[in-house]
Amino acid sequence: MNHALEKLMAKDVSFRQGLPNDYMSFMGIAHENTTDKENCTKRKTFSKKIEQLVTKLAKEPADFALTLYGKKFIWDPCLHSFHQRKGKLCC
């Protein structure tokens, strides 16, 4: 996931943009039931933006992340055994 996010940050400016300066005035638990029309509009816009970013992230190929996960799955037990047997590699 980190690799996909870094890749998207490099090629898509929307992943490098910060939060709106006033996000705490319309987002969060305190504002989830707001009836203020302006804040409702800001909330919808913000939520839609988050949804778009997550959708883009989900569309990134998972191959790199799964390779790293597989590597960790294979090597972590091996290294654990290596340390238990005082330096004798047993894989």
Residues 1 and 43 in one domain: yes
Task: For the full predicted model, state whether its pTM sits above 0.85.
Answer: no
Whether the pLDDT of residue 46 is over 80: the answer is yes
Residues 45 and 85 in one domain: no
Residues 65 and 55 in one domain: no
Residues 51 and 70 in one domain: no
> What's the whole-number mean pLDDT along residues 64-79?
74
**Total domains present in the chain:** 2
Q: Is residue 51 part of a domain?
A: yes
Q: Is residue 69 part of a domain?
A: yes
* Pairwise pLDDT comparison (82 vs 21), residue with the higher score: 21
**Cα separation values, 12 from 40, 48, 55, Å:** 27, 17, 13
Residues 52 and 69 in one domain: no
Residue span of the structural domain in which 43 resides: 1-10+36-60
Q: Is residue 81 part of a domain?
A: yes
Whether the pLDDT of residue 85 is over 80: the answer is no
Residues 73 and 47 in one domain: no
Task: Quote the pLDDT of residue 24.
Answer: 97
Contact status, residue 1 vs residue 66, Cβ threshold 8 Å: no
Contacts of 5 (CB under 8 A, 6+ apart): 15, 57
